[in-house]
Amino acid sequence: MLRSMLDKFWNEDVWLPPNTAWEDIAPGPDKDVVYADHRHLLYPIPLAFVLIFIRYILEKYWFAPFGKSLGIRNTRSKKAPPNPTLEAAYQECTKIKHKQLCLSEEEILGLAKQLDMSERQVERWWRLRRSQDKPSTLVKFCENMWRATFYLCNFSYGIFILWDKEWLWDIDHCYIGYPHQGLSDDVWWYYMVSAAFYWALTISQFWDVRRKDFWQMFVHHIATIALISFSWVCNLHRIGTLVLLTHDCADILLDAAKAAKYANFQKLCDAIFAVFTALWIATRLGIYPFYIIWSTSIRAPMLLPMFPAYYIFNSLLCLLLALHLVWTWLILQVAYKSINAGKMEGDIRSSSSEISDSSHNSNHSTPNRANHKKDS
């Protein structure tokens, strides 16, 4: 029964171009070219934990000492005094509201009456309790330094390995000769490490700084992993490398700008953010839709016969574009307020709850990661 279900799922009419069988693109020593092995999609999962370990080492022994040398303090807010009733209400609120963790006037009044406290005392305890869960500036600095470092290394490696590849300069070569396109070792590593990074982001997202666009980023990471997996199984790794390359370049500056802000280098942050905004629009709203998606939607049907899995792959590319549009709107909001204020206000593209709260109190809204991650 399981075999029958798997056969239906891996139907060649769905996953492969017409007149192509799995045996035709199966890896083997007797083949003229090296084909992608679908079993290798499992490799990025353990590799993700390796990246998480590397991140831990870098943050503890490199990024944190560097941040402290810049004057960033690893301090947390004063703890709220123990109160089981208020703690239970707080935990219940985190399950329901997740973001603002704000109490209504009726809820404050009810708790005050129940505990024989003043409304002001309840509000003060609530503020202290929220601040207690907020990560320190040093933690956020280390997190952004890690992502900026990875994106820089991955983008540099991508440029290095693709520089002599014909499809980097002529995107039609992503389809010419398909699906019998050989896979080189450098592209294999580019794919495995990139997939592992997005697996690591998906896993660590649940204990990293809680962002305002948590679920958008979660969808982004899952869509990216699905894209990588689809393109790998269907041997569409050439167009996949271009998508990865296009997404990594702007993310370097995004996390660098955020790290500069946490280090109180406001002028540097503003300069990086200005370049980031221009590069983001050029790549995510320029090259990506009008070069890559145009190629996958218009040129590809002219050069190779279409099949159902390809339409799924192209739909995932369009899903990423929709996320880009949302984040671009958030970025432009930050840019507009930065021009008015004379500096970049708040976090970029996915504000954490603490920044969101502080911005609300100062009459500034703060879209954060307009990530990413994220990117991506």
- Tens digits of per-residue pLDDT, 44-69? 999 999 999 999 999 999 999 999 99
pLDDT above 90 (res 337):
no
1 band by pLDDT with thresholds 50, 70 and 90: confident
**At residue 322, does pLDDT exceed 80?**
yes
Q: Could you tell me if 126 and 264 lie in one domain?
A: no
Domain, as residue range, for 90:
84-133
User: How far is residue 106's CA from residue 376's CA, in Å, rounded to a whole number?
Assistant: 42
228 and 277 co-located in one domain: yes
Alpha-carbon distances, residue 26 vs 20, 147, 191, 205, 249 (angstroms): 11, 35, 18, 35, 33
Q: What CA–CA distances, in Å, run from 252 to 31, 147, 200?
A: 39, 8, 17
pLDDT tens digits for 196-214?
999 998 888 877 766 666 7
pLDDT tens string 340-354: 776 555 555 544 333
* Residues 109 and 142 both lie in one domain: no
User: Is 372 among the domain residues?
Assistant: no
Per-residue confidence (pLDDT) for residue 338, from 0 to 100:
77
Query: Is 248 inside any structural domain?
Result: yes
Give the span between the Cα atoms of 199 and 201, in whole angstroms.
5
List % helix, strand, coil for the chain (3-state, nearest 5).
70, 0, 30
Q: Which of 29-33, 86-90, 317-321 has the highest mean pLDDT?
A: 317-321
CATH number at residue 106: 1.10.10
- The chain-wide mean pLDDT, for the chain, equals 82
Decide if 366 is inside a domain: no
CA distance 43 to 155: 21
Tally of domains within the chain: 2
Please indicate, yes or no, if residue 51 is contained in any of the structural domains: yes
If asked whether residues 128 and 141 sit together in one domain, one would say: no
Read off the amino acid at residue 286: G
Q: How far is residue 334's CA from residue 154's CA, in Å, rounded to a whole number?
A: 27
Tell me: do 338 and 244 sit in the same domain.
yes
283 is a domain residue? yes
In terms of pLDDT, which residue wins out, 153 or 227?
A: 153
Domain boundary among 92, 115, 133: 133
Residues 140 and 129 reside in one and the same domain: no
Residue 136: pLDDT above 50?
Answer: yes
pLDDT at 230 over 90: no
Quick one: 140 and 119 in the same domain? no
User: In this structure, are 49 and 157 located in the same domain?
Assistant: yes
Res. 220 pLDDT band, cuts 50 70 90: confident
Quick one: pLDDT at residue 374?
38
**Statement to judge: residues 117 and 165 lie in one domain:** no
The answer as to whether 11 is a domain residue is no
Is 6 contained in some domain?
Answer: no
Q: What pLDDT, on a 0 to 100 scale, did the predictor assign at position 129?
A: 73
Look at residue 376 and tell me if it is in a domain. Answer: no
Instruction: Say if residue 88 is in the same domain as residue 174.
Output: no
Q: What percent of the chain has pLDDT over 70?
A: 84
pLDDT of residue 232: 92
Domain identity same for 257 and 349: yes
Q: Are 223 and 115 in contact (CB under 8 A)?
A: no
3-state secondary structure (DSSP) of residue 360: helix
d(CA 375, CA 257): 14
Residues 302 and 244 in one domain: yes
Whether 222 has a pLDDT exceeding 60, the answer reads yes
